[in-house]
Amino acid sequence: MQFLSLLLRNRLAAAGGVVLSLVLLLALVTPLLPLANPDVTDTANRFLMPGEQGHWLGTDHLGRDLLARLLHGTRLSLAVGFAAAFFAAFFGAAIGIIAGYFGGRTDNLIMRGVDMLMAFPYILLALAIVAALGPGLTNALIAVAAVNVPFFARNIRGVTVGLAHKEFVDAARLAGLGHTRIILTEILPNVIPVIVIAMSTTIGWMILETAGLSFLGLGSQPPQADLGSMLGEARGALITNPHTSVVPGAMILVIVMSINLLGDGVRDALDPRLRSGALTRPMPATRVERKGTIPAEGEGGAVLNLRQLQTQFHVKNRIYKAVGGVDLKVAPGECLGVIGESGSGKSVTALSVMGLVASPPGVITGGAVYFQGQDLVGAPYERLRALRGDKVAYIFQDPLATLHPLYKVGDQLVEAIRVHHPVSRSEARARAVALLKQVRIPNAESRIDSYPHEMSGGMRQRVGIAMALANDPEVIIADEPTTALDVTVQAQILSLLDDLRRERGLAIIFITHDFGVVAQLCDRVAVMYAGRIVETGPTAAVLRAPAHPYTSRLIACVPELGGGRRRLEAIPGLPPAVDRLEPGCAFAPRCLKASAACREGDIALEGPGARAVRCIHPEAELEEGVA
C-alpha cells in the first residue's frame, strides 16, 4: 500500500504509467480499429502530409497510411520487446538459479561463461548472432534476448545463493525432496519478484534494441514493419519528407520515456534510503531560521559565548529539538568539558557554532553564537568560511572517516594552511612538518607523504589535531577526539591538548561522554541531557558534590583504579526522544527522586556563582565552586 501511494505521489512516474497504459491499450485494440490496411501501397498518393485525403498522419514513400502503420508497428515493437524480455528473463533465471543453487564447480563454470559474454559490447554479440542466423525479426528477437541473458543470470544467481542455504531449503532437502522439486517450490517463488523487477527495468531497453536492429535492416523485413524498420525506411526521405521519420521516432521516444519514468518511480518507491529522504547533501552552512529576539551577549571576557542556542532537525512533519536553548562560554586558555550520553545534543551544539550541522535536516532556530563579541548565527557564508579553521577549529571523532581517504595527510595539512594564508607550497609544507612534530609524530618528514589508511588510529588523530592547530586558532572544539582510541593513546593525546592550551592560550571545548576524561583535562564542565544543560560548574566541585541526579549517575558509571568492589551502575532506561519532549524535567522518567512537580513546567538552571543546576530535588546543596 505504502509502495503504491509513494508511486502515485511521484507525479512523473504516474504520468509515465498513464501514457504507457494508453499506448498498451491502443496496441491491444489496433486490430479492432477502422484503420486502412497498413501494407496496401498506393504509389499515386506517396508522401501525403498529415491530414491530407483522410490520412491523419499522411502516407509514406509507398503511399501507405502512416497511422495504420504506426499502430501496427507499435504493436509489433511492443510484442517483440516484451517477448525478448520474457525469454531473456526465462533463460537468465534458469541459468542463475542452477548456478546459485548448486554452487561449487557448476557455479564457477557457468559464471565464467557469463562473465565472458559480458565482456562484449552488447551490440557485437547481437550482430554476430544475427550474422549467423540471418536477418529477420525472429532472429533479431533471439539476438536481443540472448544478449540480455547474462544480466538476468548474474542478478538471479546472487539472490539464489542467498536463498540456497536458508533453513527452509535445508529442511526441504532433509525431507528428501529432489532438487527439481526444491527449486520449483522453495527457490522459485522467492526469486520471482527479483525477476519481475529486473524485467521492468530492462524492457524499455529491449524495445529500443530490437527497434535498433530493425532500423539497421537486420530485424523485421518488408512489408512487415515495426517502429525501427519504419524509421529505417523513412531515412531515405528524411530531408524531403521528414514527417515519415518523425512519426515512428516520436513513438519510440514516448514508449521508452514512459517506461523509464515508471521504472524510476518504482525504483524510488522500493529503495528504502530514498524513501526516508535520507539521501540529501548537506549545504555549505546550516540553515538559519531564527524566530524571536536575539539574546545579547551579556558580560564579556569569553572568546566564544553561546546564548540560548536552539538547533532542530526537521524531518518530514517531525521536529527534533536536538539543542533546546543552550548557554555556554569559554575564555582564552580555558578548557570547558561538555558531557552527556549519545543523543544528548552535545555534538550538535558544537557543530552549530560554525554552521556545520548537516542541513537539511538541521536548522538553527534561535539564540546566538558570539565569537569575540560578534554574532555568527545567520552570518554570511563567506564570513563563516573565513573563520572556520582559522579562528575556530574542530577536531572530530574517528579520523579514518574525517580525513580525506585519497589525499596524503601532508596535502590536507598544506591545504588547511593555504586556505587562510597566502604562503607558497614549500613554506606550507615546512609548516606542516613542524605541526606533525609538534603533535609528536615520529619521522614527520616521511609520514607527511602517507595516506590516512597507512597510519594507526592514534597517528591519524594526531594529524587531526595538527590540522586544527594549523592556523593557530583562538578556539578548538574537540568532538569526542579520543573515543575511538585505546587508553594509553588517549592519555597521550589529552596531555598534548593540555600542553597546547597552556602554551598558546587556546580555548578548548571538549565534548565527551566520559567523566574520567573531563576530570583529567577540563576546568569547568557542563552536563547535557536531552538538548539542554542540566548542571554546570567547576570540574572539581561538580565531581565532589554532583547536584543533578543525572550527573551523579553519570559519575557512578566511571570505574576507578583501586576503587575496589564499588558497583558500576548503569542508568536504567534511555534518553528521551527529542521530537516529543514532555513538559518539565526530561530526566524525570529515569529519576528515582522524581515527583509530580518535576513534570510540570520549565525548571530553570539556577545556582550561586559558577555553579548551577536544573533540578528541584538536587542531590547536594550548591556551594560556590572555586574555578
Looking at the Cβ atoms of 391 and 548, the one nearer to other proteins is 391
User: Residue 178: how many CB atoms within 10 A of its CB?
Assistant: 10
Which of 1, 4, 32, 132 is the binder for other proteins (CB under 8 A)? 132
99-118 positions binding other proteins, by CB under 8 A:
112-113, 115-117
**Site for other proteins, residues 401 to 430, rule: CB under 8 A:** 401-407, 415-416, 419-420
**In the complex, least distance from residue 131 CB atom to other proteins, rounded to whole angstroms:** 4
Q: How far is the CB of 470 from other proteins (least distance, A)?
A: 8
Residue 211 makes contact with other proteins by CB under 8 A: yes
Site for other proteins in 456-475 (CB under 8 A): 467
Shortest gap between Cβ of 193 and other proteins (angstroms)? Answer: 23
Stretch that binds other proteins, among 253-261, 500-508, 519-527, 600-608 (CB under 8 A): 253-261
- Residue identified by cell 485525403 is 53
Q: Which of 121, 272, 301, 572 binds other proteins (CB under 8 A)?
A: 121
Residue 163 binding other proteins, by CB under 8 A? no
Residues between 438 and 457 with contacts to other proteins, criterion CB under 8 A? 451, 453
CB-CB contact of 618 with 542 (8 Å) = no
**Contact positions with other proteins (CB under 8 A) in 264-283:** 264, 279-282
C-alpha distances (whole Å) from 221 to each of 129, 131, 134, 135, 227 are 17, 15, 11, 8, 12
Q: Which residues pair with 369 in a beta bridge?
A: 306
Nearest CB to other proteins, comparing residues 473 and 549: 473
Continuous segment of H or E residues that includes residue 568: none
Q: How far is the CB of 404 from other proteins (least distance, A)?
A: 5
Cell of 572: 536504567
Whichever of 431 and 553 has its CB closer to other proteins, that residue is: 431
Q: Which stretch binds other proteins (CB under 8 A): 188-196, 208-216, 320-328, 558-566?
A: 208-216
Contact between 144 and 84 under an 8 Å Cβ cutoff? The reply is: yes
Closer to other proteins at the Cβ: 13 or 169?
13
Does position 208 bind other proteins by CB under 8 A?
yes
Helices assigned H by DSSP within 103-187? 104-118, 122-133, 137-164, 167-174, 179-182
Q: What is the DSSP letter of 10?
A: S
Closer by beta carbon to other proteins, 388 or else 532: 388
At CA 147, angle to CA 203 and CA 90, rounded to 5? 60
Query: Minimum Å distance from CB 287 to other proteins?
Result: 13
Q: How far is the CB of 407 from other proteins (least distance, A)?
A: 8
Other beta carbons less than 10 A from residue 416's beta carbon: 23
Residue 393 sits in the site that holds other proteins (CB under 8 A):
yes
What residues pair up with 508 in beta bridges, in sequence order?
A: 335, 476
DSSP state of 281: P
Q: Does 184 participate in binding other proteins (rule CB under 8 A)?
A: no
- C-alpha grid cell, residue 533: 544543560
By CB under 8 A, name the one of 97, 144, 304, 387 that touches other proteins.
387
Which H/E stretch holds residue 479?
A: strand 475-479
- Span of 395-403, 487-495, 585-593, 596-604 interacting with other proteins by CB under 8 A: 395-403
Are 306 and 283 within 8 A, CB to CB? Answer: no
Q: Which of 257, 319, 571, 620 binds other proteins (CB under 8 A)?
A: 257
Q: What are the cell numbers at 386?
A: 573565513
Give the contacts of 516 (CB within 8 A, at least 6 positions apart): 558
C-alpha cell at 163: 536463498
Radius of gyration of the chain (CA): 35
Least distance CB 476 / other proteins (angstroms): 11
CA distance linking residue 300 with residue 171, whole number of Å: 74
Per CB under 8 A, the list member of 8, 381, 499, 569 interacting with other proteins is: 381
Q: Which stretch binds other proteins (CB under 8 A): 75-83, 152-160, 293-301, 378-386?
A: 378-386
First to last CA, the chain: 61
**536 with 490: CB under 8 angstroms?**
no
Nearest distance from C-beta of residue 267 to other proteins, angstroms: 11
Residue of 76, 252, 585, 605 that binds other proteins (CB under 8 A): 252
Query: Would you say 130 or 441 has its CB closer to other proteins?
Result: 130
Least distance to other proteins, CB of residue 240, Å? 10
Binding piece for other proteins, criterion CB under 8 A, among 239-247, 339-347, 513-521, 543-551: 239-247
CA distances from 196 to 4, 200, 203 (A): 16, 6, 10
Biggest CA-to-CA distance, the chain: 109
Q: Smallest distance from the beta carbon of 6 to other proteins, in angstroms?
A: 18
CB of 281 to other proteins, least distance (A): 4
Site residues (CB under 8 A) for other proteins, limited to 340-359 = 354, 356, 358
Q: Is 542 in the site for other proteins (CB under 8 A)?
A: no
Is 611:621 a contact under the CB 8 Å cutoff? no
User: Could you say whether residue 152 binds other proteins (CB under 8 A)?
Assistant: no
Rounded distance, CA 41 to CA 24, Å? 27
Residue 47 binds other proteins, judged by CB under 8 A: no
- Determine the size of the site formed for other proteins (CB under 8 A): 77
Distance CA 85, CA 81 (A): 6
Which of the ranges 57-65, 260-268, 327-335, 529-537 carries the binding residues for other proteins, by CB under 8 A? 260-268
For 47, list phi and psi in degrees, rounded to 5.
50, 40
Q: Does 376 bind other proteins (CB under 8 A)?
A: no
Angle between helices 425-438 and 457-469 (to 10 degrees): 120
Nearest approach in angstroms of CB 444 to other proteins is 20
Q: What is the dihedral of CA 518, 520, 524, 525, to 10 degrees?
A: 10
Contact between 221 and 38 under an 8 Å Cβ cutoff? The reply is: no
Cβ neighbours around 331 below 10 Å, total:
18
- Match 550520553 to its residue by C-alpha cell: 341
Closest approach, Cβ 441 to other proteins, in A, equals 18
Neighbours of 280 (CB within 10 A): 11
Does position 587 interact with other proteins (CB under 8 A)? The reply is no
| Interaction of residue 171 with other proteins, rule CB under 8 A | no
Which of the residues 502 through 541 are near other proteins (CB under 8 A)?
Answer: none
